[in-house]
Amino acid sequence: MNQAIKSDSLNPVPRVLWVLTALTVLGLIGTLYLGLVYVGTDVTQGAVQRLFYVHMPSFFGAFTAFGATVLGGILYLKNRDAKWDRLAVAGVEIGLALSVLTLATGSVWARPIWNTWWTWDPRLTSAAIMVLTYAAYLMLRSGIENADTRRRFASVYGIVAFSTVILTLVIIRIRPDTIHPVVVGASPQNAQGTFEATTGVVVALLPALAFYATLLPITLMWWRIRLENFSEIVEQRKLQVVGN
């Protein structure tokens, strides 16, 4: 296992990763341009509605990253190979960052539209629970010293925690008292905040959804896995020095 870590981390960055990184930077610039500049200003909400083109896609990016955590957890429990644990923790950290971005943009958007930074709406509450659940995952990892025990417990936790992601995704369709609109299909009776941009909604939204759900989390997780590999190498060498 140690040799596998060295071969992946100490070699130069793979060309494919550099290409993905370049595409990610271009994709980020492109989707921000489409959402913040190209799309028409919403006739009801004004310019603040442009946050939607980051707010919604960032959640789906978190969905992808947390899904990678589930995959990593299952494969680690099956094979006991540490590389899958590294995938799992990378998924949690990237997913958590994107989830916080979702909450932050949502709060900024809500202030002028709903006249509050925060309300205990079902969707907002479930999203907050999701963020806290995955923050607790990182606390759990840091509190267990034995590596095998830490990986095993974190794998199980990461799989179970995905239930909060599913809940956040579907809750606006099962709770009639939400103020969140359903983007596709009919909204609940009390939903508020629907928007009507003048032009370019689909052109701005679909590329952002595709980018945030695929290229962005995959690239960030790959870099995070390499960083985790370096961290494990450092720990191994520290133990070697102490042992000598």
Total Cβ atoms within 10 A of residue 232: 18
Taking a C-beta distance cutoff of 8 angstroms, is the pair 212, 61 a contact?
yes
Surface-to-core class of residue 9, CB atoms within 10 Å of its CB (0-12 exposed, 13-18 middle, 19+ buried)? middle
Instruction: Provide mean pLDDT across the span 8-12.
Output: 60
Residue for token pair 């899958």: 84
What is the model's pTM?
0.85
Surface-to-core class of residue 140, CB atoms within 10 Å of its CB (0-12 exposed, 13-18 middle, 19+ buried)? middle
pLDDT tens digits, 156-207: 999 999 999 999 888 877 766 666 655 544 545 454 555 555 677 888 999 9
pLDDT tens digits, 75-84: 999 999 999 9
Predicted pLDDT at 122: 79
Predicted pLDDT at 197: 57
- What gap in Å lies between CA 40 and CA 204, rounded to an integer? 10
Instruction: Provide mean pLDDT across the span 149-157.
Output: 95
| Domain residue ranges in the chain | 14-236
- What gap in Å lies between CA 46 and CA 213, rounded to an integer? 26
DSSP string, 18-49: HHHHHHHHHHHHHHHHIIIIISPPBTTTBGGG
Q: Find, among 18, 9, 160, 163, the residue nearest to 86 by Cα.
A: 9
Q: Which amino acid is at 163?
A: S
